[in-house]
Amino acid sequence: MKLVVLLKQTFDTEAKIVLKDGKIDDSGVTLIINPYDEFAVEEALRIKEKLGQGEVVVVSAGSDRAQEALRQALAMGADRAVLVKTDGLQLDEMVVAEVLAKVLQQMEYDLILAGWRAIDDSSAQVGVRVAEILGLPQINLVTKLEVGEGKITGHREIEGGTEVVEVPLPALVTAQRGLNEPRYPSMKGIMQAKKKELKVINAADLGVNATPKVEIKEIFLPKGKQAGKIFTDEPAVAVAKLVKALREEAKVI
């Protein structure tokens, strides 16, 4: 089975956001694999292990630095990696999806996995847009996946419950937390990763002619919050004061 995972490198979840010339400054920031994409990598590895055959290819669109994230996925056990360098390109979610789809069209795949969103821009669009461009059925926000003969069944989270959806392969699924617990790369994995193929392509050479449809006009940091009211009286008094404040001041009860 040919498994492809779409992977984005993102800021570490602890990273402090600093603006420089109106843009987000990434200097000195630790970068990680987007946590949802890590679930996707793990799931692909498990499917391959379960079937006892197949290939897991990780594909990322980003800057040169994203090679680190791809190497980490290789160390987890992915077979090879592709980086599409997007430096200098005008991007929005559509353009990124067109770029990724262009690369995927040159590959073989039975199942494409991605995280349901990236924790930096949180747009939750790229995976689904890729599915649309490639004409694949999708199962979004999957917390459990079963691979069958020519089809997959995904349990997906909906409000107030779970939906079990079956689609024919090839297909695209997006991973939600709960799907699995990603493994850590082993020492052996890290050593092997160094020898695995990591192909670098320039997005500009792919002949994508989509242009951004949305534009970020401004980035700003939220206003710092005023210190709240902390009640330190004995419990019964503190509770009475809190409830009173919620009713009379905050008016939320």
Partner 1 sequence: MGKVWVVAEQREGKLKKVTFEMVTLARQIGGEVEGVVIGKDVKGLASELGEYGVGKVYVADHPDLEQYTTAKYTRVLAELINKEKPEVVLIANSAQGRDFAPRTAQRVGAGQVSDITGYEEGVFVRPIYAGKAYTKVGATSHPLIVTVRPNVFSAAEKTGGQAAIEEVAVSFMPEDLKAIVKEVVKQVSGRPELTEADIIVSGGRGMKGPENFKLLEDLADVLGAAVGASRAAVDAGWREHRYQVGQTGKTVSPSLYIAVGISGAIQHLAGMGSSKVIVAINKDPEANIFKVADYGIVGDLFEIVPLLTEEFKKLLKS
Ligand X SMILES: Cc1cc2nc3c(=O)[nH]c(=O)nc-3n(C[C@H](O)[C@H](O)[C@H](O)COP(=O)(O)OP(=O)(O)OC[C@H]3O[C@@H](n4cnc5c(N)ncnc54)[C@H](O)[C@@H]3O)c2cc1C
* Footprint on residues 64-123 left by partner 1 (CB under 8 A): 92-94, 97, 116, 119-123
CB of 8 or CB of 48, closer to partner 1: 8
How many CB atoms are located within 10 Å of the residue 28 CB? Answer: 8
Could you tell me how many residues make up the chain?
253
Cα–Cα distance, 199 to 189 (Å, whole number): 19
Taking contact as CB under 8 A, which single stretch among the options 46-54, 76-84, 105-113, 230-238 is the one that binds partner 1?
A: 230-238
- Strand pairing of 23-24 and 19-20? antiparallel
- Considering only residues 58 through 87, tell me which ones interact with ligand X, judged by CB under 6 A: none
Binding flags for ligand X, 3-42, as an x/- string (CB under 6 A)? ----------x---------------------x-------
Q: How far is the CB of 220 from partner 1 (least distance, A)?
A: 5
Cα–Cα distance, 203 to 88 (Å, whole number): 10
CB of 14 or CB of 21, closer to ligand X: 14
CB of 13 or CB of 105, closer to ligand X: 13
Cα–Cα distance, 121 to 61 (Å, whole number): 14
Q: How far is the CB of 1 from partner 1 (least distance, A)?
A: 19
Q: How far is the CB of 118 from ligand X (least distance, A)?
A: 12
Q: Please check whether residue 211 is in contact with residue 90, taking contact to mean a CB–CB distance below 8 angstroms.
A: yes
DSSP collapsed to 3 states, 184-196: CCCHHHHHHHCCC
Q: Contacting partner 1 (CB under 8 A), which of 5, 36, 45, 47? A: 36
| Cross-strand bridge partners of residue 202 | 85
- Binding residues (CB under 6 A) for ligand X: these are 13, 35
